[in-house]
Amino acid sequence: MKTRRFPVWLSLSLGIVLSLGLSGCVSSTTPGAVGVQRSQLMLVSAGQVSQMAETAFREQNTQAASKGTFVRSGPELDRLKRIANRLIAQTRVYRDDTAQWAWQVVLIDEPVINATCYPGGKITFYTGIIRQLRLTDGEIAAIMGHEIAHALREHGREKISQSMLQQTLAGVAVAVAPDKQREVALANQAATILVQLPYSRHMELEADKMGIELMARAGFDPREAVSMQRKLMAASQGGRTPEFLSTHPAGERRMQDLNELLPLVIPLYERTRQENAAAAAVPRG
């Protein structure tokens, strides 16, 4: 049970927040083989962002459960979990704290072409994206790797920091409301920023780079990141823009960027494949 009031920091002016020393320019990850390196402005702690993300994630799941679309078991969910476990095992390449993250994978049975990973490792897939795009395991790994990379790079924390700078995330904490209501309202606001507000072009490129490295290290053919983009582009030609595309524009440029990364990550994929083959060849018992 939470008894603590929701973050006081939101009701503070930015000046006070800055003077408390919560700001900082850091890079949240090591560069990896693809060389992701950029200093990030962070005005909130990772713990505060994780707490908001957890509340938003719980709300999302509660709403899905009330609609009867929250998938509790079955082969599709098992498939997602298997893919997630392989990717999560590789995240330590970029940061050493992910073994302590409370990773979760959920599947929502709605015809939505979308997938997300909240800060702290809360992964959501919709059956719509898997079924309508007929995704292979490698293509699911490409999308999931990309979303995990946003979490590893703490892009959500960066977006919230930017919203604080623009003072668009400040009203809720001062509203008079019971704590629980306030917490949910704040989480909804955070969820809007985390999920609906597009990432910058820099962040997208970082997530593409880190995501393709993660999938390659996990033994998924990184060329499937390119075929996944092609499917997304095809899906957007039917007139309706899939939800995923409203925040992740697909295009020739993006496919070209991914293609250029292949020489860096295919050797990682080949190495993992050889290791897996060697492990499978060892007689058991």
Judged by beta carbon, residue 248 or residue 254, the one nearer Zn ion is 248
What number of chain residues touch Zn ion (CB under 5 A)? 3
Among 87, 141, 195, 207, binds Zn ion (CB under 5 A): 207
Q: Least Å distance between CB 198 and Zn ion?
A: 8
Q: Which residue has the tokens 């949240």?
A: 28
Segment interacting with Zn ion (CB under 5 A) among 55-63, 156-164, 178-186, 242-250: 242-250
Catalytic residue among 139, 147, 154, 183: 147
Mark out the alpha helices in the chain (DSSP H runs): 14-19, 46-67, 75-88, 127-132, 137-152, 155-165, 179-191, 201-217, 223-235, 243-247, 252-281
Residues 246-265 contacting Zn ion, CB under 5 A = 248
Q: Cα angle at 24 between 23 and 30, to 5 degrees?
A: 140
Alpha-carbon gap, residue 276 to 219, rounded angstroms? 8
Q: Least Å distance between CB 123 and Zn ion?
A: 13
Query: Is 110 an annotated catalytic residue?
Result: no
Q: Least Å distance between CB 199 and Zn ion?
A: 5
Judged by beta carbon, residue 86 or residue 248, the one nearer Zn ion is 248
Judged by beta carbon, residue 207 or residue 212, the one nearer Zn ion is 207
- Decide: helix, strand or coil at residue 21: coil
Q: Least Å distance between CB 150 and Zn ion?
A: 5
Task: Draw the binding track, 175-204, toward Zn ion (x: CB under 5 A; -: no contact).
Answer: -----------------------------x
Q: Cα angle at 252 between 246 and 255, to 5 degrees?
A: 90
Judged by beta carbon, residue 44 or residue 149, the one nearer Zn ion is 149
Alpha-carbon gap, residue 229 to 64, rounded angstroms? 28
Judged by beta carbon, residue 52 or residue 142, the one nearer Zn ion is 142
- Whole-number Cα distances in Å, 199 to 183, 218, 245: 24, 25, 12
Q: How many CB atoms lie within 10 A of CB 31?
A: 14
Q: Which residue in the shown chain puts its C-beta closest to Zn ion?
A: 207
Catalytic residues: 147
Residues binding Zn ion (CB under 5 A) = 204, 207, 248
